[in-house]
Structure formats: C-alpha cells, structure tokens
Structure 1
Amino acid sequence: MTKVDRRVIKSQHAIKQAVIELMSEKNFDQITIQDIADKANVSRKTIYLHYADKFDLLDKLTEEYIDKLRKLCETACEMDWRPATQICFEYLQSNYSFFSTMLASKGAPYFRNRFLEFQIEEFKNELHKTNEIRDDVSEEVFLRFVGTAYTGIVEWWLTNGMPYSPHVLAEQVGTLLETIYNSSSSTKMLG
C-alpha cells in the first residue's frame, strides 16, 4: 500500500476548495490557474503537478463528488424511497458549498449535465429492478422525466438555501417517486 504524503493531500484539498470558492464569485471561464493558485496559496506548478488544466481539475472534482453519491446510492438501493432519498439529501446538505455552487454557476453546465446523467442512470437501475414500465410511455421518456424532475428539485433546494430539512424533502420526493414508480395500471415487462 502506497502512503500518500499529507502535504499532497493538503495541497489538493486547498486547490479544490479554491475552485469552489472562486466559482461562487465568478464564471468558471473567467477563472485562471493563477487565480486558483493564489486562492489555494500554492504555486501554479503545484496545480500542474496534479491537474492538466482547470478543466481537468473541474472534471476530477465533479467525478469525486458524483462517485461518493453513487456509492451512497448503491448502499441505499435496498431501502424504500423515503429513507434512500433522505440519505442522498443528507449527503447533498453536508456538501452544500460544492453542490450549490456547481448547480448555481452559469459557468458549469457540464456539472448539471453530469449530475442529470447520473440521476437518469440511477433511476434506470431502479426501473430495471422492478422490471416494469407503463405500456404507454417509453423507457427513455420516463427516465428523462424523472431524472430531470429530481435534478430540478435538488437544484431548487440547494440554490434556495435548503428551505426544507433532508427528512421533510425526502418524505415529499419519496411520495412522488413512489407514485411515479407504482402507477402501473397498464404495465409491460422490460426486455
């Protein structure tokens, strides 16, 4: 097992935090490597040791948070909608600075798209567990609808300062998801 130097971890954390803070202040396109270096109190060389450019940094930062969310979803997949959704909202709340900045930033549409695609993938996994979908709705339309609605709720919740607790929001969203997934009056088996 390779031991990672704590200075490297500390530098990477400072760089990631700097990007998040800068994105809450200005558009990502306006942020330079020098801005990041100044904010993180590291040299430009240190940034380039870890990342090819600011886009690579943003990509790795995005994947780090999405991967953590994916692991949470894997753990929660055996639960009912409400407790599973609450776990996700608690994660979003504990990483409020990152998610609210990324969803509110006009310079990071890539993140919103990546988050939406992640949600669609997770809902597809859930749909394939039940193995049923309504006859009159295509799987793609269904997944886009649910994924976009869920992403929109998350975006609204975070950009409005989380007006509901994760528990209350999970109860409401869980009810909606149960309604959508259980409205199987006319269903077919997925192929």
Structure 2
Amino acid sequence: MTHGQTDLRIRRTHKLLQEAMIALIAERGFDAITVGDIADRAMVNRATFYRHYEDKYDLVAKIFEEMVNELINNMKPQQKKFHVQDPENPADIWVQLFTHFAEHADLYRALLGKNGSSWFADRVRDYAVTVILERKLYHDRLFGSDKLENAGMPPELPVVLLAHTLLGAITWWLESEKSYTPKQMASWFLSYGLYGYAHACGIDIPRSDGQCNREEMIGD
C-alpha cells in the first residue's frame, strides 16, 4: 500500500470515528458514551480506535486541534491579526471565525450543546482566553496599555468574561439554529464585547466623569 493510500485510509477512519461520536452525543450525551460505542457505530474494532486515539477525550482533543489548524490555515495573512473596528462593520477575522463554526455546525453543536462535553467547552474557552491574552486583544488594541493602570478589575477578568461571552454566543447560535449570518453574529458579539450588556439591550446609561450613574441604573 502506498503512502498516499495509507493517508487516505487514516483520514477515512478518523472521519468515521468522528461522525460516530457526533451521532452518539446527540442520542445519549458525551458522558454516557464509551469507546466501544464509538467503535461499534463507526463499524471498526476497538483495536483500530486505539491505534489512533487514547480514549474519547483524546478523540475530542484531536478534533479540536484539527479545527483550530483548519481555521488558521484558511485565513488570509491579513486576517491573522485581530483588528477591532466598528461592530457594524466587523473585521474579516471575526466573520471568518463565526463562518468556521457555521461550516462545522453539526460537530460544534454536538460538542458544545446540552448533550456535549463540558471538558471540550472548557478547552475551547481556555484556548480563547489564551489567544486573547497573548494578542492583548481586549486591552492594548482597544484602549491602549496605559489604560490598564486605571482598570477597575483584575486584567485577566475582562478576558475571561469575553471568552465566556464568545462561547455562549456560538453555542446559542448553533443550538437555536437561527438563520443569522456569521457577519450578524460577529457584529453583535463585537457590540457586546466593546460596549457591554446595557448597550446590547439598547439601554443608554448616563455617565458622569467616566462612571456609570448608579442611581439611574438601579432606578432609584
């Protein structure tokens, strides 16, 4: 068997196992399925499964790595830098991100939805936090590093909140199967990330000296 044929066979096996896992998650939930279940559904033996993956968690981890690599490789060079602009005209990187999740909706819906893997959701969220922190997206590119000295909370917390928001938006979008476009989702996510909950709800909170008017906010 040639090298090309071997690679094709490996890719086919991976695809069968991934599709089997997705179907089983939808039926039973991630926690309830076993390696044996996945192998049986894919119509391969357990030995074949273990030649490719250590366990079901390793299968999920490898899927995530493949998806991340695909997302990065498919981006144009200028898209690999996170440029934040007017939410009404989201940068290509954000549209590309939501497009990626839309193109693999069945996979992400299964893994992130109510029957999915909390371990996988944590992995995605942690990855988002790491990327944002490394690129200092939410700090330096938006407000300038000098503004961090006046921050009202630990610098890591806004990043964690943003990552939770991103994952929540993606999960809601995929599970609800709304016909919103990737560009719409990117626009709404950026609007929320840049201006917060009140702005997203259409609430104009008066500000004084750069601070929220608490009495106005709570209705006293």
- TM-score normalised by structure 2 residue count: 0.71
1:163 Cα deviation from its structure 2 partner: 3.8
**Map of 1:1-191 to 2, 5 A cutoff?**
3=4, 4-69=6-71, 72=75, 75-81=79-85, 82-83=90-91, 84-124=93-133, 125=135, 126-127=137-138, 129-130=140-141, 131-132=144-145, 133=148, 134-179=150-195
1:63 Cα deviation from its structure 2 partner: 2.6
Which of the pair has the greater relative contact order for Cα pairs under 8 Å at 6+ separation? 1
The range that moved more, 87-96 or 68-77, is 68-77
Number of aligned residue pairs: give it.
181
Unmatched runs of 5 consecutive residues or more in structure 1: 187-191
Q: Identity over aligned residues, as a percent?
A: 24
CA distance in 2, matches of 1:50, 1:96: 24
CA distance in 2, matches of 1:31, 1:78: 38
C-alpha contact (below 8 Å) 2:72/2:80 kept by paired residues:
no
C-alpha contact (below 8 Å) 2:29/2:116 kept by paired residues:
yes
1:179 Cα deviation from its structure 2 partner: 3.3
C-alpha contact (below 8 Å) 2:98/2:182 kept by paired residues:
yes
Cα-Cα RMSD:
2.6
C-alpha contact (below 8 Å) 2:26/2:110 kept by paired residues:
yes
Describe the SS at the equivalent of 1:5: helix
Question: Residue by residue, what CA displacement relative to the aligned partner does 1:68-105 show, whole Å, maximum 9, x if unpaired?
Answer: 34555984424445132111000000000111111114
Describe the SS at the equivalent of 2:106: helix
CA distance in 2, matches of 1:113, 1:128: 23
1:171 Cα deviation from its structure 2 partner: 1.8
Question: Aligned AA for 2:46?
Answer: R
Unmatched runs of 5 consecutive residues or more in structure 2: 197-209, 212-220
- TM-score normalised by structure 1 residue count: 0.81
C-alpha contact (below 8 Å) 2:29/2:115 kept by paired residues:
yes
1:161 Cα deviation from its structure 2 partner: 0.8
CA distance in 2, matches of 1:70, 1:142: 24
